[in-house]
Amino acid sequence: LAEKILLFTDSVIRRMTRISEEYHAVNLSQGFPDFSPPQEILDRLSEVAQKGPHQYGLTWGAENFRKALSEYHYCFTKQRIDPEKEIVVTCGSTEAMMAAVMTVTNPGDKVIVFSPFYENYGADTILSGADPIYVPLYPPLFDFNYEELEKAFKKRPKALILCNPSNPCGKVFTKEELEYIAFLAKKYDTFVITDEVYEHIVYKPYVHTYFSTLPGMYERTLTCGSLSKTYSITGWRLGYIIAPPAIINGAKQIHDFLTVAAPSPLQEAAIVGLKFGKSYYDDLLSMYTHKRTIMMDGLDTLGISHTNPQGAYYILLDISEYGFDNDLEFCELLARDIGVGAVPGSSFFKEPVYNLIRLHFAKNDETLYEALNRLEKMK
Ligand code: GLN
């Protein structure tokens, strides 16, 4: 077998879902909703089921989907992008990120990744033949040291991966931090690959800045996005890359051979979502703000210390006081004996961190209360 397979494991996030299912635990490990997508999207899906399309669509995405996506993108970024030349529709942002890294790196190139990081970035870089350079984010705010970041840039990386808002730590990068990253990206002539799938889940007073909107950054940014989190359709596998034409040309080529095309009936049905007005996104944020409060208040009552997410729908819990030095073992016992599925924090950190576990709160309120009730048994 290929040696690179030995350099990473299967996804611990998805492994924890399998373990949660085995023990019938409340699954707060892999981040996906247990509530329905918007009814309008489902109604449209029923129509599409009858009328089609059901065959391969255009490789880089259905024309009407890309047009709707470019309008959607304009609403939030005020960037006018050409749906023909500056978008490739992918099978989720998972494929978008993999294709983005493959588009800009050669074997042996370096890629900066902030740690903690969403676990796919490790595999994305390794499978592309590139080598990650990790730069730590320091709790409690998960900010980075400017000198440490420049030191990483001095190693002449080809790209930096920016997950904003960040999974798993819930950090929303400040404008000043992003401007500093932009300054370094320009100085060292580096691409920036962003994962902005939680763009609409940014809690007040924090504000999301799209990296590509910073002066001079569009030309070097590959913006990866997804419909999964925004419309609660993680199983539909609809994501995309937005970038200048020369980059997208390369990404289209890679995407073509990875997956041919994203599911055509689902693109057709999801267009309804892309056309929703502003109130939809306000409601989405209110819903997640409420769920975040349930989790934070519930954990406070249980006396479990935790992060205060500024964005996304994950919360890290400090399990130091339970006396485990292996967070994977802790999560297995948590699923088996307490009935709550979590992800061991170590799967997100390059540094040896074994005292954190990640829960997500994209679940019905009742599901969250049930999980909190079960966590009480840990006392
Ligand atoms: N992004 C989600 C998480 O971190 C789902 C991961 C996945 O399995 N694609 O849990």
Task: Band the pLDDT of 110: cuts 50, 70, 90.
Answer: very high
Task: Band the pLDDT of 378: cuts 50, 70, 90.
Answer: confident
pLDDT digits over 112-127, tens only?
999 999 999 999 999 9
pLDDT digits over 168-210, tens only?
999 999 999 999 999 999 999 999 999 999 999 999 999 999 9
The CA 151 to ligand 1 mean position distance, Å, reads: 30
Four-residue CA torsion sign, 151, 156, 161, 162: positive
Task: Band the pLDDT of 379: cuts 50, 70, 90.
Answer: confident
Residue 63 has pLDDT above 80, yes or no: yes
Structure tokens, 203 = 């809690």
The CA 310 to ligand 1 mean position distance, Å, reads: 18
Ligand 1 atom at shortest distance from the alpha carbon of 197: 1
The CA 91 to ligand 1 mean position distance, Å, reads: 14
Res 248: pLDDT: 98
For residue 36, the one-letter residue type is: S
The CA 31 to ligand 1 mean position distance, Å, reads: 5
pLDDT digits over 251-306, tens only?
999 999 999 999 999 999 999 999 999 999 999 999 999 999 999 999 999 999 99
Name residues contacting ligand 1 (CB within 6 A).
13-14, 30-31, 94, 118, 167
Ligand 1 atom at shortest distance from the alpha carbon of 31: 10
Q: Whose CA is closest to atom 2 on ligand 1?
A: 31
Overall pTM surpassing 0.90 (yes/no): yes
| Exposure of 377 in the CB half-sphere (CA atoms within 13 A) | 12
Ligand 1 atom at shortest distance from the alpha carbon of 17: 8
pLDDT digits over 200-215, tens only?
999 999 999 999 999 9
The CA 11 to ligand 1 mean position distance, Å, reads: 9
Ligand 1 pocket check: which of 30, 233, 238 to mutate, most ligand atoms within 8 Å of Cβ? Answer: 30
With beta carbons less than 8 A apart as the criterion, state whether 118 and 195 touch: yes
Ligand 1 pocket check: which of 34, 95, 97, 118 to mutate, most ligand atoms within 8 Å of Cβ? Answer: 118
175 phi/psi in degrees, rounded to 5: -60, -40
3-state secondary structure at position 179: helix
Q: Whose CA is closest to atom 1 on ligand 1?
A: 31
Q: Whose CA is closest to atom 5 on ligand 1?
A: 31
Q: Whose CA is closest to atom 7 on ligand 1?
A: 30
Ligand 1 pocket check: which of 234, 313, 316 to mutate, most ligand atoms within 8 Å of Cβ? Answer: 234
Give Cβ neighbours of residue 188 (< 8 Å, ≥ 6 apart).
153, 154, 156, 157
What the chain holds in terms of domains, given with CATH numbers, is 3-37+279-378 (3.90.1150.10), 39-274 (3.40.640.10)
The CA 175 to ligand 1 mean position distance, Å, reads: 26
The CA 339 to ligand 1 mean position distance, Å, reads: 20
Ligand 1 atom at shortest distance from the alpha carbon of 343: 10
With beta carbons less than 8 A apart as the criterion, state whether 304 and 129 touch: no
Ligand 1 atom at shortest distance from the alpha carbon of 360: 10
Q: Whose CA is closest to atom 4 on ligand 1?
A: 31
pLDDT digits over 303-356, tens only?
999 999 999 999 999 999 998 989 999 999 999 999 999 999 999 999 999 999
pLDDT digits over 18-50, tens only?
999 999 999 999 999 999 999 999 999 999 999
For 137: left if phi > 0, alpha if psi spans -120 to 50, otherwise beta; the answer is beta
* Distance (Å, whole) CA 100 – CA 105: 9
The CB-based long-range contact list for 7-15 (8 Å cut-off, 24+ gap) reads: 7/126, 8/122, 8/123, 8/126, 11/119, 11/120, 12/119, 12/328, 12/343, 12/344, 12/347, 13/119, 13/343, 13/347
Structure tokens, 96 = 């978008």
Structure tokens, 251 = 């990404």
